[in-house]
Structure 1
Amino acid sequence: MKVVHLLSALFIMVFVTPSLANTNARETVIEMKVFIGAMFEIGENAGDKAGEFQFWYSRYFSDSEPIFVKGAANPVYCNKDGVCGSVLGMGKVGSSSSVQAIILSQQFDVSHTYFIISGVAGTPPSKGTIGDVSWGSWLIDYDLGHRWSPEEGQLGAPAFTPRTGYESIRRYQLNPSLLEWTLDLSREVSLKDSASAQRYRQRYPNKEARRDPKVNYGTHMTGDTFFHGPGLSNEAQYIAQLYEADDYVITEMEATAIAQVLDRTVGTKRLMSLRGAVNFDQGHPKESTLDHLDPAPGETAGGFEETVENIMLVGSKVTDHIVKNWQIWQHGIPEL
């Protein structure tokens, strides 16, 4: 009889206890309402020079404990309202691998999550200016295709053609209904500016480059290659037109890769791309491309801190609205 009782006790320890543990684990799963993904932070999350995450952290996560996720570049922070965020890492591989790790983690319920991919970017002076905040309408991968040196092709013709087989991953149109909401909620945000950025804009003859910053939208062009100069800027616009997307307004390094991860897991209907312009994608007419890439001291654009705060000011309008009206938004994007 003692042997029977001993076997029964072992059965409970081996088979029942893990079940109880799993039940407890399920009870602590965090429902993510909005996830904010930044790409880098300069130093700490608070108290020093702000990178892409610091203003988000100060607004939503200063009282949150870090949640470590295997495979993610940095901890995830979540507040009591279901807003979560993390620094994902720069570039396609670094950022998308972090997003995949977070999505697949059993610590979170992402079945209804809205994703805001947030960071700094460049903009062509014909379409934007320093301090602008842009919502993505299309995401295009700049790198997927064939390229050749211009002198090895037809004079004056584009030096790019799409590669067959990438049709489903080289561009993503973001949800037009969600884009309409983001523009409506953030169009009245008063954006910050700096004296240095105001002076710097005057080096460019373009009307768009010289104006005050505003909230806009358009195609966000993703490239691990930090392309620069009027020639490659024109090529980015050519690709946007080739793919029948909106005008190219933002150059960044992560969005299409993250979109591909979401497309394979939870879908892209709740994905938003939010970028702030901290540089032009080319020099002014009296400046070479190489000089613009490596400016002398005192020749930088300025306005970086103001722009990263602008990103948060714009994005928080959407975040707060979704959370406040979660009983509606959890079921999908309502009519505006």
Structure 2
Amino acid sequence: MSPFQSTRFRALALSAAVGLNAGCASNMQPRPSEPVKVKVFVAAMFEIGQNTGDRAGEFQHWYERYWKGTTPVAVPGALQPVYCNADGVCGAVLGMGKVNSSSSMQAILLNPKFDFSQAYYVISGVAGTPPSRGTIGEVSWATWLVDYDLGHRWAPEENKAGEPTFMPRKGYEEYRRFKLNPDLVAWAMKLSAETPLKDSDSARAYRLRYPQAAARRAPFVGTGTHMTGDTFFHGPGMSSQAQYIAKLYGADDYVITEMEAAAVTLVIKRTHGTDRVMSLRGAVNFDQGNPRETTLQHLDPAPGETAGGFAETVENIELVGSRVVDHIVANWPQWQNGVPAR
């Protein structure tokens, strides 16, 4: 072999070795981790402070039950990170209001770190209730979600006395109301209706300011229409309008006023449908004052005149909701392909 041939041979051998090593290195690269297969996603709207160890908001009791010690997963576009446990239960704080919560939900649903193809959803949080239908500390599963805002409104003085001051706006028919899966609602009630609920002396005293039998009840688990609106409406007139809208849209009685569920559900509908969506709310206030106070007094109460029971209600929400979450996860083979027959 000539010196030229020897040099050329060594160069070819070196080139082949480099190529082989490069191929091995390429084959040894770690694969991207598989997305988390979400079985149940729990959405809260706000937390007061930390996720654990201080005064609880909407997320803390869920966090302490399912995600304490887990690693948060940052999601671009979402308000807060997502937490998941080994059982496929995930959750996050989405933010208050329709835009805040729905944009967070959209970002989470589209993130490739999660597989939502078989997921169930629990949209949870605190709410208000009309004293004719609910009470402080109660927990309600939605049968319908109705958007309070999509329409035309005008001042009562510009109308005939007693007539509605709301007219639906055409073009919103497909996303101003959602009938949630009745079989899923029935399952939720079957699993949670007998949950022992927390109560407080301050809530008991506050209920007695109202003459309605429903308002004076001890906390219970019920169902009905949840009304979604960015406006905190108060007073018997606005409450009656909410009931009017619910009936106008063919929904059940309005029992809960909240700010997010219809918007979050619309986002889920566009990607996965609504058959696996649940809305769970706990009442921490009435949507109007008692007969001895004006609406403004109800909105801006004097010290010591506020409704009690907030701490107990946020605990009640998790106590009720976790019964359903735990059942779905424990019986996943029966639930993964859809809501089973009861």
| TM norm structure 1 | 0.95
RMSD after superposition = 1.9
Task: State the distance in 1 between where 2:98 and 2:23 align.
Answer: 47
Task: State the distance in 2 between where 1:314 and 1:84 align.
Answer: 17
Matching residue of 1:39? 45
Radius of gyration: which is bigger?
2
Q: Which blocks of at least 5 consecutive residues in structure 2 are unaligned?
A: 1-10
| Pairwise CA distance, 1:135 | 0.1
Q: Secondary structure at the match of 2:124?
A: strand
The structure 2 residue matched to 1:254, chosen from 256, 260, 263, is 260
Matching residue of 2:59? 53
Task: State the distance in 1 between where 2:117 and 2:167 align.
Answer: 37
Matching residue of 2:117? 111
Alignment of 1:1-336 (within 5 A): 24-25=31-32, 27-336=33-342
| Pairwise CA distance, 1:28 | 3.1
Number of residue pairs the alignment of both structures matches: 331
Q: Which amino acid aligns with 1:182?
A: A
Of all paired residues, the percent bearing the same amino acid is 63
Range with bigger deviation, 278-287 or 153-162? 153-162
- Cα distance 1:159–1:20, how it changes in 2: closer, same or farther (>3 A)? farther
Task: State the distance in 1 between where 2:275 and 2:285 align.
Answer: 29
Q: Secondary structure at the match of 1:184?
A: helix
Q: Which amino acid aligns with 1:149?
A: A
- Cα distance 1:222–1:10, how it changes in 2: closer, same or farther (>3 A)? farther
| Pairwise CA distance, 1:309 | 0.2
Q: Which amino acid aligns with 2:127?
A: A
| Pairwise CA distance, 1:63 | 2.1
| Pairwise CA distance, 1:269 | 0.6
Q: Secondary structure at the match of 2:178?
A: strand
Task: State the distance in 1 between where 2:237 and 2:20 align.
Answer: 74
Q: Which amino acid aligns with 2:317?
A: I
| Pairwise CA distance, 1:300 | 0.6
Task: State the distance in 2 between where 1:6 and 1:262 align.
Answer: 52
Q: Which blocks of at least 5 consecutive residues in structure 1 are unaligned?
A: none
| Pairwise CA distance, 1:7 | 10
| Pairwise CA distance, 1:80 | 0.9
Task: State the distance in 2 between where 1:294 and 1:328 align.
Answer: 49
Q: Secondary structure at the match of 2:184?
A: helix
Q: Which amino acid aligns with 2:187?
A: W
